[in-house]
Amino acid sequence: MGLPESNPFDRFGPTSPDRPLTKTWVARHSPEFLPGPVDKADHPTQWHFPKWLVRDDIPWLAKLKALYADPISFPASMSPEAGLLLFSLVRNIRPRTVVEVGSFLGVSTIWIAAALEEIGDDPAHSGDAKARPGALVSIDDFAPVKETEWRRGSIRRDRKAIVQENIEDAGLSHRVHLEQGTSWEVLSRICQSLLDTGGVQLALLDGDHGAKGLRQDLIELEPALEIGGYVVVHDTIPERCGGHVGGRHLLEHINDFAAGLYESVEVCLSPVNYGLGLFRRMG
């Protein structure tokens, strides 16, 4: 059965005579696809909070500045550049409920919650944002943090209490609910309550970085993820992010194992190109 005559996409159909017959891929390893430092010597060793964002009168910006100045935030907290991207996604998508896997110190948590807060405060937006304030559920195992080759320092204190304190200092605790546990177990447990409050429109998966764990996170999140909803996955370039393969696995195989149907794109990050996957549930 052919497409109806009125279909506006007819002219882009698979038999279009205008379509070039010789299309070629540019290799993924080419510099166009993988910009950013390759040599260890060129790799930054701390994050730099942009000067133009220094506003000590705004609690969440003051807190982010302090967190980025703490050596423990490098490299696991996402860079300010990636944080700004996340902030912008939230402001534009205007989700009612966001789920985050991987709070760590609360840096990405603050970027997301601040964007939800800004939506609520912005008079340019209709009143519904205030009537249904955006909420963030942030999940972490809050396990002790060890020193590594790239991380200077460790954390033995109760990390959940530290994150709670950071979010309070940022003035955002009314936006964030912390859940402690293994992410896929927590997701499975809270799935129904996420559905009962209108489902999830945006999720950040930045906890377990293995293929199996990340896959499990997506599978448990999916029943609550709206059609049209977005999933952001940090660290999709294994050769740049310490060999973690989960993000890449999702980019290449999500439609093989997920219940839903997704379109996706990989976004290069700066100053270090750990890569970010942006998925949208299409069906």
Ligand X SMILES: C[S@@+](CC[C@H](N)C(=O)[O-])C[C@H]1O[C@@H](n2cnc3c(N)ncnc32)[C@H](O)[C@@H]1O
Q: What is the rounded distance in angstroms from the CA atom of residue 206 to the CA atom of residue 192?
A: 22
* Nearer CB in complex with ligand X: 129/168: 168
**Counting contacts by CB under 6 A, is residue 206 touching ligand X?**
yes
**Counting contacts by CB under 6 A, is residue 172 touching ligand X?**
no
**Counting contacts by CB under 6 A, is residue 90 touching ligand X?**
no
* Residue in 117, 208, 220, 266 binding ligand X, rule: CB under 6 A: 208
* Residue in 64, 77, 190, 274 binding ligand X, rule: CB under 6 A: 77
Question: Interface residues for ligand X in 183-202 (CB under 6 A)?
Answer: 183
The 3-state secondary structure of 259-281, one letter per residue = CCCEEEEEECCCCCCCCEEEEEE
* Nearer CB in complex with ligand X: 108/273: 108
* Nearest approach, Cβ of residue 21 and ligand X (Å): 44
**Counting contacts by CB under 6 A, is residue 26 touching ligand X?**
no
Q: What is the rounded distance in angstroms from the CA atom of residue 274 to the CA atom of residue 242?
A: 9
**Counting contacts by CB under 6 A, is residue 102 touching ligand X?**
yes
* Nearer CB in complex with ligand X: 119/276: 276
Which residue, 178, 91, 180, is CA-closest to 136? 178
**Counting contacts by CB under 6 A, is residue 139 touching ligand X?**
yes
CA terminus-to-terminus distance, the chain:
23
Residue found under tokens 């510099």: 31
* Nearer CB in complex with ligand X: 125/180: 180
Instruction: Provide the token pair at 275.
Output: 């890569």
**Counting contacts by CB under 6 A, is residue 141 touching ligand X?**
yes
Residue 130 CA: distances (Å) to CA of 86, 133, 145: 21, 5, 37
* Nearer CB in complex with ligand X: 102/247: 102
The CA-based angle 73-244-274, given to 5 degrees, is 55
**Counting contacts by CB under 6 A, is residue 179 touching ligand X?**
no
**Counting contacts by CB under 6 A, is residue 108 touching ligand X?**
yes
Q: What is the rounded distance in angstroms from the CA atom of residue 4 to the CA atom of residue 160?
A: 57
Instruction: Provide the token pair at 205.
Output: 């998966």
Instruction: Provide the token pair at 210.
Output: 């293995």
* Residue in 62, 66, 76, 129 binding ligand X, rule: CB under 6 A: 76
- Binding residues for ligand X (CB under 6 A): 76-78, 102, 104, 107-108, 139-141, 143, 182-183, 206-208, 213
